[in-house]
Structure 1
Amino acid sequence: MSKMQNPVIRGMAPDPSILRVGQDYYIATSTFHWTPAVQIFHSTDLCNWQLFSYVLTHGEVDLRGTATPAGIWAPHLSYDKATKKYWLAYSHMQNMSGREFNSDSYAMYADSLTGPWSKPIYLTSIGFDPSLFHDENGKHYLAILEWETRTGYQAPGHIVVAEVDLENGGIIGDWHRVTQGFTTRGCAEAPQLYKHNGYYYLLIAAGGTGYAHGVEMGRAKNVFGPYEPHPSGEPIITSSPHHLFSLGDPDSGHFEMYNLNSPMQKAGHGSLVETTDGEWYIAHLMSRPLADTTLNPLGRETSLQKMEWTNDGWLQMADKSNLAKMTVDLPSDEKDVKQDLSLDDINDQFENGKYELRFMTPYHLHTTEWVNATENPGHLRIYGRNSFFSQFNPSIMATRATSLDYVSQTKLSFLPTHYSQTAGLGLYYDSNNWLYARLCQADDGHGVVLRILQAKLGERKDDIFHEVAVPNNSAEIQIHYVNGIATINYRFAKIDEWQRLGDSTDVSYLSDEGVNAVPGETGGFTGLFNFIGAVDAHQHKSYADFDYYMVKNK
């Protein structure tokens, strides 16, 4: 039987919600402070996935000022067979301070996953991670985590279920508290409902967002319960199958659960799908740490595990274990499928007035007001605005890093007239954490130089001792990233040899655990991005023209 290698979606693709309609598979993933919000990937074979579309593309949410790791959380895809409409539920996490999580949840619908989507329909502010279930009787149910704020009560709270009014929004009747988790790992969240052979099955994430993460299951004859837990008493999927008692822990990195024997970590937050031939898989998030560390630069990625139903009606991994694997059997009818890892490479020449769908921008949408491929055909023109420390209007066009060994590269022309105007290539996690090789004005105001600027945990570091004069206001810049170390190279003509700029830089902190994390927890959920961009804190009028943008994975 043919095999596929996990992760099947590399780079930032957390909280996957998988859906099959006909012969097509779709996965929606979280995007946090990145826009356009909610990525949707498509596949016809479960093995090869490509970005298909986004959902929140017309200013439905304002993410400016969003603190890491708030923003758009855990989108859930569903399909209502009765109306033939696609539904997407999501949470907008606005505030996490003091563990008083403020999150509004919404639903949207469309006739196609390419849109147009309806306006968001408000559902609730009770918690986060909403999912919709369309029952055979025509009723619709919302499952979500009810966030617990009372002192002395088990956190993070209960999984609750209620009937929902999808036409007008809002809840019908009462919320039903159905579980605080099906094992002793606690931290139940991300509930999803399914129906199989007369039972309602509730899939939840548990164990926190770190190394104890897992997928748990319970079932009931009534959608409101009572739900009996999976007879194993343990997660049905995890990277760390050792027993853990952590009830009452609201969330934690659980670094003590790091599995030294597994290249995959943090497996959890699952979503179930049945193939056309009646085989079952779970899509789940996972991470790949840097060797000998607990740092995960690529954030949380999407993997698949093959599942099977037992004779007594419970779900288990096809190999009878609960340890998530890096290599998984493809569906039986996909024997000849080959996994094409080159799909993650990028070579955008900005032709025909267009640019890569995979480009995203932090905190706000990219618009023709500051980025376009039409003003100078064959180039991407980016107008500088806020500094990259800004959570409001940074001019950044970025793509997900998908490998721990790759080269990103661009060529740009730029003529700054003020010391605050810059343009170049870089690595980005959030507004407090990035590395930027930029063309800028020489400090004496005469000529253009290439210099490195770094943000580390909010501290600004300008490498004034390594700079090179740039002839003709144009340069090619290259970043070679290998296992958390970045080396920046440059050249001024295609016939030139690449030259190193300064020393290699340890950028392993550009990872979920490395960005402003408090002890015992992760600092973010998003992962590393590569970017091209520009800054103009003078008049917002200067611009850079980029000839191409390339990312080549090793």
Structure 2
Amino acid sequence: MTQIQNPIIPGMAPDPSIIRVGADYYIATSTFHWTPAVQIFHSTDLANWQLVGYALNHGEVDLRGTNTPAGIWAPHLSYDSRTQKYWLAYSHMQNMAGREFNSDSFAVSADSITGPWSKPIYLTSIGFDPALFHDADGKHYAAILEWETRTGYQAPGHIVIAEVDLKNGGIIGDWHRVTTGFTTRGCAEAPQLYKHNGYYYLLIAAGGTGYAHGVEIGRSQTIFGPYEPNPTGEPIITSSPQHLFSLGDPDAGHFEMFNPQSLMQKAGHGSLVHTQTDEWYVAHLMSRPLAGQKKNPLGRETSLQKMHWTADGWLEMADGSNLAKMHVDGLKDVPVHQATTQFDINDDFNNDTYDPRFMTPYRTQDAAWVNTIENPGHLRIHGHNSFFSQVNPAIMATRATSLDYTVQTKLTFHPDHYSETAGVGLYYDSNNWLYARLCQADTEDHTVLRVLQAKLGERIDHLTDEVTVPNDTAEIRLAYHQGTAQVLYRLTDTATWQALGTTLDVAYLSDEGVNGAPGEIGGFTALFNFIGSVDAHQLTSFADFDYYTVKNNLERGTHL
């Protein structure tokens, strides 16, 4: 039996929802302020996963102006075998100010996992993290977190279930409050319903989005409960098995629950799948911190744990523990070879389309500002807003998937104003990024390469580290290693790579490093690599990128 190495989907791939249809497995993950929205991955062996598309990629949502980490949260995939339709439920988090958490939830359907997906139908605005369950009698149900805003009541609220009308939208009857969690970790969210041997099982996330995260389970003989908790009183999957009492805490980093014995942290928010080989697995999120730190640049990634049912009908990890593992047994009689380069990227832009892994913050991708048509063999990006903008930044980005990698590009750019720039960089959100860019010298008479940085909203221009670019063309490489970044460049194809300035500390480009209140996680959207352009002049400038590569240095053990 072969082993599956976690994470199975590295980089920003949180809140995984897994299903099986025949011998095919699919996982949908959150995308927050990034478009296209809702990544969908495919596998036949549970070890190797490829992006096959996005569920919301035709203007269904407008994310411009979204305050991160709002946006599209916790998609849930399901398959209705009676109608042979795929369903995807999701929340559009629009406001998090005042902890009001205003979120509208919708569902879309398709005859194929690659779409086309239907127009969204409205479900509810009661909370977030909706999931659909298609019962054997043809009825459909939604489970979701009812967000609590009343002073003095247990936060974040109840898990609620209602029958749902998937033809016309909305719910049928009333919401039924079923639990505030099955352990003392609190922060119950992300409910998912399953049926097994006559019981309805409710799988939920708990413990918050930080180091106390876990997967809990309860069961009932009727869908609206009452649900009895797993008799252990503890999560069935977690990275931090010690007991925690945290009822009433709406969410927290729980840094005291960091497990120094585990490379995997924050294991939680799980989704169950039954394989064609009669085995059971839970896909769940996890994080990998920087060495010696509690910062997680890669955000929340997707992992897998093998499960089994006990004699008294409870789900538990296959080894009988609840500690999430970095390696698990693969499917019986399904040989796998887990590719180590599947998350590298090498796009020379010689096709009409570019790599589908490119995502854009806040705005949708449109041929009017990014295309391979205007200058064949190049990706042309027309400059727009500053990268501090949450409206129209001209950024094409891919998920960082390793803690040791290089991202590299070659570009040609002719700035004729100091507000026109183009280059390559690292991006967390609009307040936190690193940008090695071609721009005008302050004398406005030639082009230079210089680094601009945003840290917690502060603009930092590295004025003393500057090199002249005589022909408006340069190759730029960013070498990222365990929270540091070195900018390198060369001005001809045969020149030796040169360092620009010193190695920079970019560990703050992580979930814990951005704008977090004391004791809380600052974000949960992860580090991206990007190429992009800015024009705050006349919106007439553009940059031509000859290629874009990302090479993960897995031989140093950053993926293991």
Length-normalised TM-score, structure 2: 0.98
| Matched pairs, number | 553
| 1:546 matches 2:557 | no
Partners of 1:113 and 1:459 lie apart in 2 by 42
Mapped to 1, the partners of 2:385 and 2:118 lie a distance apart of: 32
1:513 aligns with 2:518: no
Per the alignment, residue 556 of structure 2 pairs with: none
Task: Provide the rounded CA distance (Å) in 2 between the counterparts of 1:217 and 1:317.
Answer: 12
Which residue does 2:99 correspond to in 1?
99
Determine if the alignment matches structure 1 residue 261 to structure 2 residue 251: no
Q: Does 1:216 align with 2:208?
A: no
Amino acid at match of 2:453: Q
SS at match of 2:12: coil
Which residue does the alignment assign to 1:249? 249
Name the structure 2 match of 1:416.
415
**C-alpha distance in 2, partners of 1:192/1:235?**
15
Shift of 1:282: 0.1
Name the SS for the 1:502 alignment partner. Answer: strand
Conserved 8 A contact 1:347-1:551: yes
For residues 504 and 35 of structure 1, the distance between their equivalents in structure 2, rounded to whole angstroms, comes to: 31
Partner Cα separation in structure 2 for residue 69 and residue 381 of structure 1: 29
The Cα offsets for residues 483-510 of structure 1, whole Å up to 9 and x where unpaired, read as 0000000001121100000111100000
Equivalent position of 1:162 in the other structure: 162
Alignment of structure 1 residues 356-395 onto 2, 5 Å: 356-395=355-394
Distance (whole Å) between structure 1 residues aligned to residue 187 and residue 551 of structure 2: 38
| Letter paired with 2:105 | S
1:214 and 1:238 in contact (8 A); partners too: yes
Letter in 2 for 1:472: N
Q: Distance in 2 between matches of 1:404 and 1:225?
A: 44
Aligned residue for 1:484? 483
Q: What residue identity is the alignment partner of 1:382? A: I
The within-5 A match list for 1:78-89 is 78-89=78-89
Query: Which segment is superposed worse, 111-120 or 542-551?
Result: 111-120
Partner of 2:501: helix, strand, or coil? coil
Instruction: State the Cα deviation string for residues 288-313 of structure 1 (Å, max 9, x = none).
Output: 00011110000000000000001111
Task: Give the SS at the match of 2:155.
Answer: coil
Cα separation, 2, equivalents of 1:68 and 1:164: 30
Structure 2, unaligned runs of 5 or more: 554-560
- Alpha-carbon offset, residue 541 of structure 1: 1.1
Letter matched to residue 181 of structure 2: G
2:530 alignment partner AA: F
Structure 1 residue identity aligned to 2:373: T
The one-letter code sitting in structure 1 at the alignment partner of 2:263 is P
1: distance between equivalents of 2:353 and 2:121?
A: 32
What does residue 456 of structure 1 align with?
A: 455
Counterpart for residue 397 of structure 2: 398
1:164-223 alpha-carbon deviations (Å, 9 max, x no partner) = 000000110111000000000010000000000000000000000000000000000000
Q: Offset of 1:333 from its aligned partner?
A: 1.8
State the Cα deviation string for residues 25-63 of structure 1 (Å, max 9, x = none): 000000000000000001010000011100111111111
Give the superposition deviation at 1:354: 1.6
Matched AA of 1:42: H
Partner of 1:240: 240
Instruction: Please report how far the alpha carbon of residue 352 of structure 1 lies from its aligned counterpart in structure 2 after TM superposition.
Output: 2.0
Q: In structure 2, how many angstroms separate the alpha carbons of the residues matched to 1:273 and 1:32?
A: 24
Distance 1:14 1:168 in 2: 30
Paired amino acid for 1:367: D
Q: Please state whether the residue corresponding to 1:308 is helix, strand or coil.
A: strand
Residue 177 in structure 1 maps to residue 177 in structure 2: yes
- Report deviation, 1:4: 1.3
Counterpart-to-counterpart distance in 2, 1:352 and 1:509: 36
Distance 1:193 1:353 in 2: 42
Q: Which position in structure 2 is the counterpart of 1:345?
A: 344
Which SS does the other structure have where 2:439 is aligned?
A: strand
CA contact (8 A) 1:382 1:395 kept: yes
Q: Which residue of 1 aligns with 2:138?
A: 138
Kept in 2: contact 1:252–1:520 (CA 8 A): yes
1:330 and 1:105 map into 2 onto residues whose CA distance is: 35
2:295 is matched with which residue? 295
CA RMSD of aligned residues (A): 0.5
User: How many angstroms apart in 2 are the aligned matches of 1:539 and 1:280?
Assistant: 57
Structure-2 separation of matches of 1:290 and 1:277: 37
SS of the residue corresponding to residue 98 of structure 1 reads helix
Once residues 405 and 492 of structure 1 are traced to their aligned partners in structure 2, the CA distance between those partners, rounded to angstroms, is: 25
Aligned-partner SS, 1:341: coil
Tell me which residue corresponds to 1:29: 29
Tell me if structure 2 keeps the 8 A contact 1:4–1:330: yes
Q: How much does 1:227 deviate?
A: 0.4
Task: Kindly indicate whether the alpha-carbon contact (under 8 Å) linking 1:68 and 1:523 is maintained by their aligned counterparts in 2.
Answer: no
The alpha-carbon deviation at position 266 of structure 1 amounts to 0.1
Q: SS state of the match for residue 123, structure 1? A: strand
| 1:128 aligned partner, one-letter code | F
Aligned with 2:154: secondary structure? Answer: coil
Does 2:441 match 1:442?
A: yes
Taking the aligned partners of 2:453 and 2:109, their CA distance within structure 1 comes to 42
For each residue in 1:349-399, what CA deviation from the matched residue of structure 2 results, as whole angstroms up to 9, or x when unmatched?
Answer: 001222100000000111001000011110000000000000000000000
1:427 maps to: 426
Kept in 2, the 8 Å contact 1:8–1:47? The answer is: yes
- Alpha-carbon distance between aligned partners in 1 of 2:528 and 2:37, rounded to the nearest angstrom: 15
Gaps (5+ residues) in structure 1?
none
CA distance in 1, matches of 2:398, 2:62: 20
| C-alpha deviation, 1:90, in angstroms | 0.2
Q: C-alpha separation between the residues in 2 aligned to 1:217 and 1:539?
A: 57
Tell me, yes or no, if structure 1 residue 229 matches structure 2 residue 244: no
> What CA distance in whole angstroms lies between the structure 2 residues aligned with 1:185 and 1:153?
16
Distance 1:544 1:492 in 2: 16
Find the counterpart in structure 2 of residue 70 from structure 1: 70
Q: Which residue of 2 aligns with 1:535?
A: 534
Q: Which amino acid in 1 is paired with 2:272?
A: L
| CA shift digits 1:310-367 (9 cap, x unpaired) | 1111000000000000011001122x31100200000000012221000000001110
1:354 is aligned to 2:353: yes
- Cα pair 1:423 1:535 within 8 Å, conserved: yes
Secondary structure of 2:515's partner? coil
Letter in 2 for 1:301: E
Identity of aligned residues (%): 76
Q: State how far apart, in whole Å, the 2-side matches of 1:432 and 1:169 are.
A: 37
C-alpha distance in 1 between matches for 2:18 and 2:201 = 16
Q: CA deviation at 1:462?
A: 0.4
